[in-house]
């Protein structure tokens, strides 16, 4: 498409905008596309006497071309302050084995792993109950509005989860709340739109997936922290009180070592190293889960 020629349809405008935003965070692209689509549709609705190409040509003059809008969104994103700064110096520092302790993403991911069990249980219970009631009420007239409310709640929950993911894992997620369906649409049109929207089903799958993931995350975090801190804490306590509770059956030399100051100091160091390993695992889990959330919750 000739870049000097303005797009003649809303779809063409959004395609060019998506192309101009290539390489940006999916959450940013999603917000930009949703904002522009809403703005363009409002312009069309306010000028029913004009055809779509004429309105689009006017919009490009006043609102901006897709390339200009993309640049504005990139600039606006760069000025937003986040708890996870991305300067080149910090990006270089945070990959050392011991530097993981200074990376805020580490603690955000660890907190997310601890909360994931609670949110996972709630999401799973809500989704399964909603699906069961939707199927059960399908033969009744109340089933249609209930299905609409349930799917709407799924979108709201997925948006809330996206905000949690962005706050704790540092992954740019959509910040724009789900747009309500136009009031002039029929109920059947709304149902059709919700059913054919892939994000409806991927969001539902994500909410169901959060229960097994939440269990795994919670167990990893609790066991990892308990073992690493417990080993170090016990060794330090034994050094202070001169009374070791470590017992190793079948290895007398090791049992004797764990009752000496050098042995206890070694155990404390091992526990400390395990703690850093847990932090690295937490950061890796945060990165991986961020990609899962982007893939299932972000609509492009």
Check residue 60 and give its pLDDT: 82
pLDDT of 3 higher than 70: no
Measured from the Cβ of residue 46, the count of other Cβ atoms closer than 10 Å reads 9
Confidence of residue 88 (pLDDT cuts 50, 70, 90): very low
Do 206 and 296 form a contact (C-beta atoms < 8 A)? yes
Do 6 and 56 form a contact (C-beta atoms < 8 A)? yes
Greater pLDDT, 134 or 3: 134
Cα separation of 201 and 296, whole Å? 9
Q: What does the pLDDT average to over 11-39?
A: 88
pLDDT of 82 higher than 70: no
Using the structure block, give the residue that is written with the tokens 């996206």.
Answer: 162
pLDDT tens, residue by residue, 134-180: 888 888 888 888 888 898 899 999 999 999 999 999 999 988 876 65
pLDDT tens, residue by residue, 221-267: 999 999 999 888 888 887 788 776 666 666 676 666 667 788 778 88
Q: Please state, rounded to an integer, the average pLDDT across all residues of the chain.
A: 83
Using the CB atoms, write b or e for 242-268: b if 16+ within 10 Å.
eebebeeeeeeeeeebbeeeebbeebb
Most confident of 9-13, 66-70, 210-214, 247-251: 210-214
Q: What does the pLDDT average to over 77-81?
A: 72
* Two tokens, residue 183: 């009031």
* CA-CA-CA-CA torsion sign (118, 119, 120, 122): positive
Cα separation of 56 and 238, whole Å? 75
């Amino acid at each position: 498409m000739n870049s000097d020629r303005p797009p003649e349809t809303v779809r063409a405008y959004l395609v060019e905008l998506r192309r101009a935003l290539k390489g940006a965070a999916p959450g940013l692209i999603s917000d930009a596309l949703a904002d522009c689509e809403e703005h363009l549709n409002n312009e069309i609705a306010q000028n029913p006497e004009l055809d779509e190409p004429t309105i689009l040509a006017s919009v490009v003059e006043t609102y901006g071309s897709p390339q200009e809008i993309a640049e504005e969104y990139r600039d606006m994103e760069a000025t937003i302050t986040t708890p996870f700064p991305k300067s080149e110096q910090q990006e270089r520092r945070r990959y050392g084995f011991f530097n993981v302790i200074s990376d805020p993403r580490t603690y955000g991911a660890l907190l997310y792993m601890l909360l994931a069990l609670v949110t996972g249980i709630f999401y799973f219970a809500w989704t399964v109950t909603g699906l069961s009631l939707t199927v059960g009420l399908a033969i009744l007239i109340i089933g249609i509005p209930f299905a609409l409310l349930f799917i709407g709640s799924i979108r709201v929950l997925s948006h809330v989860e996206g905000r949690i993911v962005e706050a704790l894992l540092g992954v740019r997620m959509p910040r724009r709340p789900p747009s309500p369906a136009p009031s002039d649409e029929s109920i059947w049109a709304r149902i059709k739109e919700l059913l054919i929207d892939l994000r409806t089903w991927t969001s539902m799958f994500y909410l169901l997936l959060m229960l097994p993931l939440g269990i795994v995350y919670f167990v990893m975090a609790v066991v990892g922290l308990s073992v690493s801190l417990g080993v170090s804490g016990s060794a330090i306590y034994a050094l202070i009180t001169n009374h070791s509770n470590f017992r190793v059956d079948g290895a007398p030399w090791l049992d004797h070592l764990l009752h000496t100051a050098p042995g206890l100091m070694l155990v404390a160091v091992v526990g400390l190293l395990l703690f850093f390993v847990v932090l690295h695992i937490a950061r890796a889990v945060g990165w991986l889960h961020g990609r899962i959330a982007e893939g299932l919750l972000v609509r492009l």
